[in-house]
Amino acid sequence: MSQWWEIGSRDAEVVVPKIKAVAYYRHSAQDRQENSIPIQQEQVREWADKNGVEIIHEFADAGKSGLNAEGRPAFTEMMGEWVKHRKDFEYVLCLDVSRWGRFQDLDLSARYSSECREHGKQVIYTTIGKRDDDRFTPVVVQLERFRAAEYSRELSGKVFNGCVKIAKQGYWAGGSPPFGLKRLLLDEKREPVGVLEPGKRKAIQNQRVTLVEGDPVEAVTNWRTRSSTSSR
């Protein structure tokens, strides 16, 4: 038979309050990974659960560039309305530095982290973890900021060179067609597939797009405009 003090010790559970946090997720349109944010979410939640952290709100910018903060409504809301004005959380969780942003100015990336710190919040990249007593961590974070920015610069160069090569081959490199013209999709053998409607894109990487005459009225207007301009 259990004694009264044994029963009381079993029933009384010590509940350790969890540290509150918000989480931020992002992927760009260039990533072309529709499951990127759910994957980030799963990994960040797993880290939070293992480290006694409760996520009270999540922010996500899907299909948004990380080159700056402009054009990222979730990031702007988090920084402006939550970080600066709310006192009910301590951490801002983000999977890694590249999801926080690929700022070309490394000081700009650090500035937003510093703003969080000024308002009593700590940015934690869960792939790195929380290492308050590790003096090498700031060096790692700065290196990751450089790698994130460099990735964007290299990618921009590759995209530009690719567009130049495609244009030299006589194909349309991308964007909306000029007035009076339409985009014609070509298959891998460069045979016509069909006209791409506004907003539509080619689905296969080695397909190509060329320009063909569009609406007759637009084509005539376009021709008259060019003729009038060349005769001046």
DSSP 112-181: HHHHHHHTT-EEEETTT---TT-TTHHHHHHHHHHHHHHHHHHHHHHHHHHHHHHHHTT---SSPPPTTE
* pLDDT (0 to 100) of residue 190: 82
Examine the pLDDT at 11 and tell me if it is beyond 70.
no
Q: Is the pLDDT of residue 38 over 90?
A: yes
The answer to whether the CB of 19 falls within 8 A of the CB of 121 is: no
User: What is the CATH superfamily name and number for domain 10-149?
Assistant: Resolvase, N-terminal catalytic domain (3.40.50.1390)
- CA dist 163 and 168 (Å) reads 9
What are the structural domain ranges in the chain?
A: 10-149, 169-230
Taking alpha carbons only, the member of 46, 226, 22, 6 closest to residue 124 is 22
60 SS3 class: strand
Give me the pLDDT at residue 189, please.
75
Judge whether residue 57 has pLDDT over 80: yes
The number of CA neighbours under 13 Å toward the Cβ of 101 is: 22
Q: What is the pLDDT of residues 62-100, one digit of tens each?
A: 988 888 889 999 999 999 999 999 999 999 999 999 899
Order of all β-strands in the sheet with 192-196:
192-196, 181-186, 208-213
Q: What mean pLDDT do residues 47-72 have? A: 93
Q: Distance between CA atoms of 41 and 56, rounded to whole angstroms? A: 13
Q: What share of the chain has pLDDT > 70, as a percent? A: 67
Q: Quick one: pLDDT at residue 73?
A: 96
